């Protein structure tokens, strides 16, 4: 039973990684990662939350940044490493999670990070931004970052069987948006501690229209209210063609992904640490 659970988790993680690989290839080839990366010009050291298939990291490395990238899904990290390697970009990969199943639910135990690689050019680390004290401690032990990014966060549905999401009352399948908002809130907390003064936090999200900009602005402002962060700008890019291509990938895949067909814009929200 234990083995079966583990294999299910691995299979779903692999399917998610492969689906995201196809989607991020589209985002890359249509120039949208380049659009996101342009906002980071001059901010050299970047911390990325959610590595996915490594295409965001690739866009950043190509524009001269160094990157520490965190992902909860080790299959995504392996794929990211492979994709970067194909482009002759060397990376350090740290896998540190052990899943422990009990009665169909699971917990991930994460090892300590004992190496000082904060300043390597490309570091990929397995970890969960929702709850991972060793990771938080390791991040705090290095230099502060020039930029922190969280682009298009999302996750696979098997996480609904995790004790971590249960503890926080999160249900990805039913309420993917609530998960996204929760993780973004965690990213705000991280940025408050890990960004250098003058450094920027960039969150990129799919949104319905650019008409909601006041609501989005206020929503992010309220999250930053108790922090050293100040919301500075929101930029939009119409992305209907690209988003509809992403939906075709979802529809063709094995994963039961909730379609969010009216999301035709990307929003890049920039906050600055005072
Ligand atoms: C939709 S992909 C986007 C990847 C990348 N940012 C990009 O734009 O290509 C989101 C990634 O975030 C990761 N992720 C989701 N929740 C996470 C968490 N709590 N901690 C770390 N990574 C997480 C997922 O495993 C997935 O690889």
Tens of pLDDT, residues 104-140:
899 999 999 998 888 889 999 999 999 999 999 999 9
Q: How far is the CA of 48 from the centre of ligand 1 (A)?
A: 9
| Of 88, 24, 15, 85, the residue nearest 51 (C-alpha) | 24
In the chain the first and final C-alpha atoms are separated, in Å, by 51
Give the closest residue (by CA) to ligand 1 atom 17. 72
Q: Which domains does the chain have, with CATH numbers?
A: 2-273 (3.40.50.150)
User: What confidence tier does 64 reach under pLDDT thresholds 50, 70, 90?
Assistant: very high
pLDDT at residue 27, as a whole number: 97
Protein residue whose Cα sits closest to atom 16 of ligand 1: 155
* The pLDDT value given to residue 217: 86
How many whole angstroms separate alpha carbon 251 and alpha carbon 263?
A: 16
Residue 16 above 60 pLDDT?
A: yes
Residues 6+ apart with CB under 8 A from 82: 54
Convert the pLDDT of each residue in 159-199 to its tens digit.
999 999 999 999 999 999 899 999 999 999 999 999 999 99
- Considering only CA atoms, which of 238, 257, 239 is closest in space to residue 248? 257
Cβ of 151 closer than 6 Å to ligand 1, yes or no, is: yes
**d(Cα 70, Cα 228) in Å, to the nearest integer?**
23
Residue 260 has pLDDT above 70, yes or no: no
The answer, yes or no, to whether any atom of ligand 1 lies below 6 A from the CB of 46, is no
């Amino acid at each position: 039973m234990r083995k079966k659970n583990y294999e299910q988790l691995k299979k779903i993680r692999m399917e998610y990684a492969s689906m995201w690989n196809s989607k991020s290839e589209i985002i890359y080839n249509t120039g949208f990662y380049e659009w996101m990366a342009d906002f980071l010009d001059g901010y050299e050291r970047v911390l990325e939350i959610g590595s996915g298939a490594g295409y965001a990291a690739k866009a950043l490395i190509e524009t001269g940044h160094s990157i520490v990238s965190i992902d909860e899904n080790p299959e995504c990290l392996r794929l990211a490493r492979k994709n970067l390697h194909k482009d002759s970009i060397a990376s350090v990969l740290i896998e540190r999670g052990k899943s422990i199943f009990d009665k169909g639910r699971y917990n991930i135990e994460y090892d300590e990070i004992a190496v000082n690689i904060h300043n390597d050019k490309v570091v990929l680390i397995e970890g969960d931004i929702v709850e991972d004290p060793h990771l938080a401690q390791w991040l705090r032990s290095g230099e502060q970052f020039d930029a922190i990014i969280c682009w298009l966060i999302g996750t696979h549905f098997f996480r609904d069987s995790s004790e971590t999401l249960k503890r926080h009352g999160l249900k990805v399948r039913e309420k993917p948006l609530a998960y996204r908002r929760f993780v973004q809130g965690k990213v705000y907390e991280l940025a408050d501690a890990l960004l250098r003064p003058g450094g920027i936090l960039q969150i990129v999200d799919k949104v319905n229209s650019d008409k909601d900009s006041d609501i989005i602005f206020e929503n992010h402002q309220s999250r930053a209210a108790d922090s050293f962060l100040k919301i500075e700008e929101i930029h939009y890019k119409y992305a209907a063609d690209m988003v509809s291509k992403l939906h075709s990938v979802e529809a063709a895949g094995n994963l039961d992904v909730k379609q969010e067909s009216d999301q035709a814009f990307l929003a890049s929200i920039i906050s600055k640490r005072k």
